[in-house]
Amino acid sequence: MAKGRLIRVRGQVQGVGFRPFVWQLAQRMGLRGWVLNDAEGVLIAVAGGDLGAFEVALVAEAPALARVVAVEGTEWEPEESAEFEIRASGPAGAETGVTPDAATCPDCAEEIRSAGRRQGYAFANCTNCGPRFSILKALPYDRAQTTMAGFTLCPECAGEYADPGDRRFHAQPIACPACGPRLWFEGERGAQDGDAVALAAEALRAGKVLAIKGLGGFHLCVDATNTGAIDLLRARKHRPGKPLALMAGLELVKRHAQVTEAEEQRLRDPAAPIVLLRKGGAALPEALAPGQVQLGWMLPYTPLHHLLCDAMDRPLVMTSGNLSGQPQVIGNADAREKLAGFVDGFLMHDRDIARRLDDSVERADPPMVLRRARGRVPGTLPLPKGLPDAQVVAYGGQMKSAICLVKGGRALLGHHLGELDEALTWEAFQQADRDYAALFDHAPQAVAVDLHPDFRATRHGRARAEAEGLRLIEVQHHHAHMAAALGEAGWHPETPDDRAVGVILDGLGLGPDGSIWGGEVLLGDYRAVRRVAALRPAPLIGGDRAQAEPWRNALVRLDQAGLGDLAGRLFPQAPLALARQVAGSGVNAPASSSAGRLFDAVAGCLGICPMGQSYEGEAAMRLEALADLADQPIGAGGYAMSIEGAEIDPAPMIRAMAEDLDMGVVPGVIAARFHAGLAEAFATAARAAADEAGTRVIALSGGCFQNARLLREMTLRLDGYQLCLPREVPANDGGLAFGQALVALAQLESR
């Protein structure tokens, strides 16, 4: 008898329809044997026919939500069977991965719009789509361990669930109107009779603000074509300028935005992220994103969203349902308590949300994940070669917090949590720590934290290390950023002497010398780095207030350039004399090499929210938008900065900018010249460091590289070098934990 094959498939292969896919593939190819789930993934025993073609098809034709990491085959003695069957699953395990939530597939989208028992049903799903991580309470991933446990399947749904030829075979959230979650609309007098979606659409068309329960939390929703409704939402939420995310079907998106093929692909991805798109076509109210050339769009990603978008046939604002500074609301009672003050109604349902997940935010060109959340987590990332097979937990930073767990050669970078100073975000952080550890059976050997002793994440990690007797590894902020970019690109030293250069530009991070870093050129590897160049430091007048008020940063940079009189003309209402006194004393004015604060300084000089930003990064974002509106191509000349030894001094740039201001050069051109000059200075320093060290590898990371123009300017000037760029791992502090984990692994190895 011919030998068969025993095939192990590893990766994200459970809860994605992989077993029925294998069964259907075997039927098509005339094979016999069996398939089952177990603690390591999917196990297949197969005989008869072309087994080589079968193994190739396992990867090439895998279900849309599957992520195959490895296919391992060995010889197998076939059993006496003429059929191929799906066998009962073995024990569950954390090695198989948990599937992220996935947007409604085309089949389910068509089903809710067609005659049948799920027509108009807001919770239709199948093995190719629907809620996963947002409803999961514990492993193994089956209905009893999700928030669908209380919904008993009707006979029709039970039949679909049990049929391997049906697209709903073992779809754990399977439901229909007879047995699944229900939807209702609540107004001032409570739940209202009638079609919930129609009632919500009527309220939105009347200019009202609604709270809509989605997949990972509540959204606040208004008609995006109604300026009055947008202004009302902003006034109630105390969010005067921060861009608002939009939702619409693809045809509508294309009416209001320029959509490239790559951007359409991102929009259509099962993760259904918010994608930043340049404005174009029919104009929408400027109030959606004041001072910006882009808007954040997402396609409807649940049946509820599809039905509401159909009923409205116009773009909708879908912004996080939360009190200012607090995390997104996920519970019905919590929503009524916290959101009632600024909404006019609720579109509710009774399927509980197990964990809060914000919408992911992404860009297609250059490709980059800006916020890693719903649809992307808990997907894992491969580790670069050469690091030890150890378990590490890394706790990230204070802003844009996220947790990273490393196990079995892969890293799980958790979802965006937010600012840890906020009490409810801190609770969410602690829950996520417990949550991920339990879901992935994680037992760390080391804990990695930021060097800053006062970060809540650092204190948490130190306390855990002490309590459990684990090794604590403190990782300098910018080293972690560099490691994250290197690691995502898969860089690994071929010899012990191999080094890479890192250009790390961000807001603030504690340096090993006790000063505040933020504009750095580093040289090293995962284990250790040294600083080879940095932006000339400037005092942060008022400490944290310097991050909120750009005039403070403009003042110190103008004074350093010998242009103190210009500060008086630009900021007549600011207390300049007192600020200079504080800067001179050094009290509550720490020196910082922050590139982010240099962006604020230039923005302030151009009159961009000089006296105060209404949200983090507003000045820099508006400066980028201003540059993009100018007729200045990428690679054009910019303002020169001086490089003397290890110091990059922006004073010549500031003086050249002041001359352009006096000459009446339009602000957009000045903004573009600033971007080009900054890129040229740091690219020059990076090339010099790389050439001296004998390396061609340069990593770019830090929150400033979320700026697409700056990233393009830098990559153009570093042509010919091997660039390690942020793609799936956020360049901002959302990727910090991934880098910390890699540094910790390298230091464990070198111990």
Catalytic residue set: 19, 37
Residue of 307, 332, 306, 309 whose CA lies nearest to 321: 332
The CA–CA distances, whole Å, from 457 to 449, 453, 592 equal 7, 9, 22
Could you tell me where the beta strands, DSSP code E, fall in 408-470? 410-413, 446-450
Residue of 73, 74, 70, 129 whose CA lies nearest to 95: 70
Residues 6+ apart with CB under 8 A from 515: 537, 590, 591, 592, 593
Residue of 126, 117, 198 whose CA lies nearest to 155: 117
Report which residue type is found at 613.
Answer: Q
Backbone angles phi, psi at 185, to 5 degrees: -115, 130
**Alpha-carbon gap, residue 434 to 429, rounded angstroms:** 9
**Alpha-carbon gap, residue 563 to 557, rounded angstroms:** 9
Backbone angles phi, psi at 424, to 5 degrees: -70, -30
Could you tell me where the beta strands, DSSP code E, fall in 325-414? 345-349, 361-364, 367-371, 380-382, 392-394, 404-407, 410-413
Give the count of beta carbons closer than 10 Å to the beta carbon of residue 1: 7
Backbone angles phi, psi at 599, to 5 degrees: -60, -45
**Alpha-carbon gap, residue 175 to 158, rounded angstroms:** 9
Residues 6+ apart with CB under 8 A from 272: 102, 103, 298, 299, 301, 374, 375
Report which residue type is found at 162.
Answer: A
Backbone angles phi, psi at 163, to 5 degrees: -95, 110
**Alpha-carbon gap, residue 563 to 472, rounded angstroms:** 47
Tell me the three-class secondary structure of 171-204, residue by residue: CCCCCCCCCCCCEEEEECCEEECCCHHHHHHHHH
Both tokens assigned to 191? 């739940």
Both tokens assigned to 446? 């080391």
Residue of 402, 425, 406 whose CA lies nearest to 414: 402
In terms of DSSP H, where are the helices of 561-707? 564-570, 576-585, 595-605, 618-629, 651-663, 667-693
Both tokens assigned to 210? 């609604």
Give the count of beta carbons closer than 10 Å to the beta carbon of residue 581: 13
> In what helix (H) or strand (E) does residue 68 lie, and over which residues does it extend?
strand 67-76
Residue of 132, 160, 158 whose CA lies nearest to 147: 132
Residue of 128, 48, 44, 54 whose CA lies nearest to 86: 44
Provide the 8-state DSSP code for 489: T
**Alpha-carbon gap, residue 249 to 36, rounded angstroms:** 38
Tell me the three-class secondary structure of 638-650, residue by residue: CCCCEEECCEEEC
Backbone angles phi, psi at 577, to 5 degrees: -60, -45
Residues 6+ apart with CB under 8 A from 523: 499, 500, 501, 502, 529, 530, 532, 689, 693
**Alpha-carbon gap, residue 611 to 608, rounded angstroms:** 9
